[in-house]
Structure 1
Amino acid sequence: MTDLTASARAPSSTLAIDTYRAIWRWHFYAGLIAVPFMILLAVTGSLYLFRDEIDGTLFAHRNVVAAQASAPLPPSELVSRAQAAVPGSTLSAYREPAGPTGSARIALRADGEAVYAFVNPYTGAVLDTVAKRQEFNEVVRKLHSLDYFGSYANRLIEAIAGFAIILVVSGLYLWWPRRQTGGVVTVRGTPSKRVFWRDTHAVTGAVAGLFIAFLAVSGLPWSSFWGGKLTEIATATGTGYPAALWDAVPTSGEHAAHAMDTVGWTMESSPMPMSHAAAAAPIGLDRAVAVARSKGMAPGFEVTPPADAAGVYTAAVFPADLAKVRTIHIDQYAGEPLVDIGYADYGALAKLTELGINVHMGQEFGLANQLLMLATCLAIILSSVAALVMWLKRRPAGRLGVPPYPTSRRVYGALWAMAIAFGILFPLSGLLIVAMVAVDLLVRNVAPLRRAFS
């Protein structure tokens, strides 16, 4: 997927040429596997970067209301209006309006399905109801992670993230100037020429490579295998959530990831506290929301009700400003916070991970962050499309056009060492590398396949 001509013209040793060919061949295979998924990730990621803007424009009918001088209705009243619009439903979470012109979002459960009801906080009018699985940003998010297709598809995306890093590293090696007169920072030729697409692919990848690698790495904490191992490390080393805050309260066997409607990465594995048994009646949603407000939670926080008599109300908010990230577990009888934790309380690894996630999602530095991540997504799409066009222009008719094998196998020792090291860091990507190499060995030793792939 690159051009050997310039390198061949330069006075290079046979070993250098063999190394170039071997890396080119691996780059080609990795690209052939990863490009369709990387385009999907870039398109869906671009949309998700502007989820708030999309909600405020395309879906303003349910997210935006006229500000009024009158006080908003109590949360319990808004929930009652939402439940009336979705008969037989139960409350999953109540989300406060993010501002005077925002609607309240009520998460309900009806017939085993999650439903969002959007309610005008001043009038109680139900603006819209939509199944969570059909809500636009939820659809984009699930496409981005392939959650629609099950856990194995989600793990495939995790493996592709590792391949994105392979493509960046190998691509930078192939791009590195070797006395060629173009294709380093300039694009030669016209769109009708293969060299135009080769240079477009190489220059775009070189300029955006580090940002692409950042997107791949910062997205991994949400993945099932790699992210789970990172959580285990953070918990074992005390660099995740501050477990000591739970020492003074009884906890259930349930974790926040299963009990809360919305939860951040650091808090996913934290245990859920239990309310102290009391003869008093539960405080109710209105009081729980009032407690969260009195504690200075940022607007737009979400309150999850207790699941049973021993459960707690949990108020949580994950705004763009990491300093305002907060989770408060409230005793459903006494109305007192049992655990109150913010970003400042996180351990070092959790803080670094959350910062990476925030930048990944375009939240940390406002519009500049969104535009930088959007530019990176567009670079992924441009470089991927250019690679496909370049390949189609280069490959012989009726054959795959895989780059040639090195003339000597002595370069493979170092490459295998790198592959093993990479497989240890990214196990699922390592498994995909093994499959890729197995196919390549089969191609090399079966004559019909060798002709078809050449």
Structure 2
Amino acid sequence: MSVTALEPGARRAADRASSDLYRAVWRWHFYAGLLVLPFLISLAVTGALYIFRDEIDAIVHADLKRVEVPDSATRVAPSALVDAALAAHPGTAVKYTDPAMPDASAEITVNSAGEGRHAVYVNPYNGEVLGTLPDRGTVMWTIRYLHSLKYFGPTARMIIEIAGGWAILLVGTGIYLWWPRRQNGGVVTVRGRPRQRMFWRDLHAVTGLFVGGVILFLAITGMPWSGVWGAQVNQWANGNNFGYPTGVRVAVPMSDEHVGHIAPTSWSLEQARVPQSPTAGHGARAITLDEAVAMFDRLGLHRGYAVSLPTSAEGVYSGSVYPDDLTQQRVVHLDQYTGKPLIDMSYADYGPLGRWLEWGINVHMGQEFGRIGQIVLAGFCLGVVVLAVSAGVMWWKRRPSGSLGVPPLPTDRRVFRGLLAILAVGGIVFPLVGASLVVMLALDWVYVRVVQRRASVVSA
């Protein structure tokens, strides 16, 4: 038999193998979408809003956060602002936040038995108390907690890791399905009309082409907030919970308190331990808040820094600021008796991993490229919503009546082996994702058996 005579058979075998692989990838793309798309819509909408958090908060809470700048523009001393806040809302002052802009109010965090922790907003030019909100009670903190699922407890937040891992799978399989295969359209153009499934298929594919890379980036940079993977990487990045990267040269006594518990901080420093004031117990006079703020100003902390007040004889004044400009990130701990900096740490002191993580998080939060970056990122969030909606419409138009519409199994099940090997590697890197993959495999096996049993009953 000649080689030429074998060519049609070989070609058919190759086409069948390609079709089987396509079916296998399509099936797992379907499952990934089934799990992820509802979360992607929620994450995209809340994320797009949070990108403009300062602008939205300034509008919604204008009566609390904005003040008129007088001609003299002379500010009241920080201690007087704290006294005014405590006179209106008695309790213990635990944090003072410096106004970030000339027309911004000062924020005093007060802890009281009746109200718990709450933020009191004070006019920095005349000491007038403007009002109060629960601590982190602004509309944008609400959006942030919805975005991270923090409202639903630590177990629900693990969904972030699962959704992130499956989003990565969604992008990988989606690129394979989009890859041009001798078609004339649907690659970078949309064919048909909205009443046709082809329109929604092309809209989904083309949108996925443009936003897929961003989904991948956001999924990876969002992983630090996940329940299992994020917590482990955070602990590892912090060097056995000490948290201070190479480049910080001063060895001081450490407390059991962590930076993330006393003030908002960068993700990679949440587990960093706060130092103790070594002068405690020597009869020294503690410096005032005004003196501490003056020291922070001399050290050049970016405007808008927060000062956590010492709550014990060994405590410290902790100044921290995380502006849009990464290079201006700073954490400074002062001895509460001498005012001497015990730790002075900036972005430049982070190790390579810390710098990469913080840069990724900064981009993820829309802080890195100014207003243009905010608009572009919000546009990609809109694209994610279009991607999810087009997937739902396309599935609805394609699915057979009374069926879930799961893509067909390949005729040769062996094509699953390579795909499952890739999935297994991803499951090892992201444990919760791996566990969800096992559950999905089991559910798929059960689904196949149910369909086969129904088919046998009908044929009988």
Q: Same fold (TM over 0.5)?
A: yes
Post-superposition Cα deviations, 1:355-395, rounded to whole Å, max 9, x if no partner, equal: 11111111111012112211221111110011011111111
SS at the partner of 1:409?
coil
Which residue of the other structure, out of 85, 98, 101, is the alignment partner of 2:100? Answer: 98
Post-superposition Cα deviations, 1:367-424, rounded to whole Å, max 9, x if no partner, equal: 1211221122111111001101111111122221111111111101101110110101
RMSD: 2.0
Structure 1 match to 2:32: 30
Gaps of 5+ in 2: 1-11, 456-460
Which residue of the other structure, out of 387, 406, 410, is the alignment partner of 1:383? Answer: 387
Amino acid aligned to 2:377: M
Which residue of the other structure, out of 58, 71, 74, is the alignment partner of 1:71? Answer: 74
Which residue of the other structure, out of 300, 304, 308, is the alignment partner of 1:304? Answer: 308
SS at the partner of 1:102?
coil
Counterparts of 1:360 and 1:132, CA distance in 2: 24
Structure with higher Rg: it is 2
Pair 1:424 & 2:431 matched: no
Matched ranges for 1:13-412 at <5 A:
13-68=15-70, 69-87=72-90, 89-111=91-113, 113-132=116-135, 134-236=137-239, 241-242=244-245, 245=248, 247-258=250-261, 260-276=262-278, 277=280, 278-412=282-416
Structure 2 match to 1:5: none
Amino acid aligned to 1:218: T
Counterparts of 2:299 and 2:436, CA distance in 1: 49
- 1:192 Cα offset (Å): 1.0
Q: Which moved more, 1:401-410 or 1:10-19?
A: 10-19
- Is contact 2:333-2:344 (8 Å) kept? yes
Structure 1 match to 2:4: none
Post-superposition Cα deviations, 1:269-328, rounded to whole Å, max 9, x if no partner, equal: 211100022312221221111111110000000000112111111000000111111000
Post-superposition Cα deviations, 1:108-152, rounded to whole Å, max 9, x if no partner, equal: 223363212111111212222111354211100100010000001
Q: Which moved more, 1:281-290 or 1:42-51?
A: 281-290
- Is contact 2:246-2:350 (8 Å) kept? no
- Is contact 1:241-1:266 (8 Å) kept? no
Counterparts of 2:126 and 2:14, CA distance in 1: 76
- Is contact 1:231-1:240 (8 Å) kept? no
Counterparts of 2:198 and 2:123, CA distance in 1: 57
Count residues in correspondence. 440
- 1:76 Cα offset (Å): 1.6
Counterparts of 1:265 and 1:287, CA distance in 2: 29
Amino acid aligned to 1:349: L
Counterparts of 2:400 and 2:116, CA distance in 1: 52
Amino acid aligned to 1:206: L
SS at the partner of 1:150?
helix
Amino acid aligned to 1:23: V
- Is contact 1:239-1:350 (8 Å) kept? no
- 1:239 Cα offset (Å): 12
Counterparts of 1:33 and 1:385, CA distance in 2: 14
Counterparts of 1:241 and 1:110, CA distance in 2: 32
Q: 1:320 to 1:145 in 2, by over 3 A?
A: same
SS at the partner of 1:444?
helix
Counterparts of 2:453 and 2:386, CA distance in 1: 31
Amino acid aligned to 2:185: G
- Is contact 2:263-2:308 (8 Å) kept? yes
Counterparts of 2:14 and 2:180, CA distance in 1: 13
Counterparts of 1:188 and 1:261, CA distance in 2: 52
Counterparts of 2:225 and 2:288, CA distance in 1: 33
Counterparts of 1:336 and 1:232, CA distance in 2: 28
Counterparts of 2:65 and 2:14, CA distance in 1: 62
Gaps of 5+ in 1: 1-9
Q: Which moved more, 1:409-418 or 1:106-115?
A: 106-115
Counterparts of 2:236 and 2:368, CA distance in 1: 25
- 1:70 Cα offset (Å): 3.7
Counterparts of 1:413 and 1:358, CA distance in 2: 38
SS at the partner of 2:317?
strand
Counterparts of 2:454 and 2:208, CA distance in 1: 29
Counterparts of 2:453 and 2:346, CA distance in 1: 58
